A and B are shown apart, each in its own frame.
Chain A
Amino acid sequence: MKEFFETSIEPHFNYWVYVILMMIGLWAVIAKNNLIKKLIGMSIFQTAIILFYVSVGVKKGSGIPIIPKAKEAAAGAGEHGAAGAVNPDLFANPLPHVLMLTAIVVGVSTLGVALAVAQQLFKDFGTLEEDEILEQIKTADKASPDG
């Protein structure tokens, strides 16, 4: 048990938590009855995916990906970039960060549109509970079978 903790859980703790958060979000989207709760679950699912991508870029003992004295480092680099070249082990990989910036903004706009649709549903049905909305649709269908 202790060995399992030291070899599997402790070095990859970010990945374990990302899977747990993702399953919490998936459970909320599937099993919750209230539409706003479903949307909160969707947001949690999305942040879990972003957490995975950012965890890929991080290294042990790395700092933020800003190179101090970048001018001097560039000037010191020779033809093949050996002298004064930047050591990449000191910085987190910035590529996944840049990709995930877009994902955050897209996620917020998705949430905004979904909440607008939820408000319109509340205006039409007077409730945000999924089973009550389905019940009302069913009774409306029975009242007018041609529709």
Chain B
Amino acid sequence: MIPIFDYIILIFMVIAAIISLKVKDLLSASMVFGIYSFLICLLWAEMGAVDVAFTEAAVGAGVSAVFLIATVYNTKRRSSD
């Protein structure tokens, strides 16, 4: 584990989480949530959990983002908050 890399990724993760919850466009929220998932995937590869990292990259970042975008496509794109 590399400490400085760890701190940078963790801070970016908190920022991405807040942005994905604050933005009013749901498609943007889905994309920023994908960025969050890829950041946490990077963090796990850095922490030595490579198996968790590639599961997260395939299942967490890929499939979750596709599900969210499909739901936004089938429903409304604007959110009130």
User: Do A and B associate with each other?
Assistant: yes
User: Which of A44, A58, A104: most chain B Cβ within 10 A?
Assistant: A44
Q: A115-146: which residues lie under 8 A (CB-CB) from chain B?
A: 115, 118-119, 122, 127-129
**A-B pairs, 10 with minimum CB distance:** A92-B48, A34-B79, A122-B75, A17-B10, A97-B49, A115-B71, A64-B48, A58-B47, A33-B81, A28-B21
Q: What's the interface size class on A, roughly?
A: 35 or more
Count residues on chain B whose CB falls below 8 Å from chain A CBs.
Answer: 43
Interfacial chain A residues near B50, Cβ < 8 Å: 64, 66
Main secondary structure of the interface of B (DSSP, over half): helix
Known: A17-B14, A21-B13, A21-B14. 7 other contacts (CB 8 A): A24-B18, A34-B81, A64-B50, A107-B60, A108-B63, A115-B68, A128-B79
Interfacial chain B residues near A47, Cβ < 8 Å: 36-37, 40, 60
Interfacial chain A residues near B47, Cβ < 8 Å: 54-55, 58, 92
CB within 8 A of A32: which of B30, B36, B72, B81?
A: B81
Q: Does A105 contact B (CB under 8 A)?
A: yes
Q: Does A51 contact B (CB under 8 A)?
A: yes
Of all chain A residues, the one with the shortest Cβ separation from B79 is A34
Interfacial chain A residues near B7, Cβ < 8 Å: 13
Of all chain A residues, the one with the shortest Cβ separation from B29 is A40
Of all chain A residues, the one with the shortest Cβ separation from B47 is A58
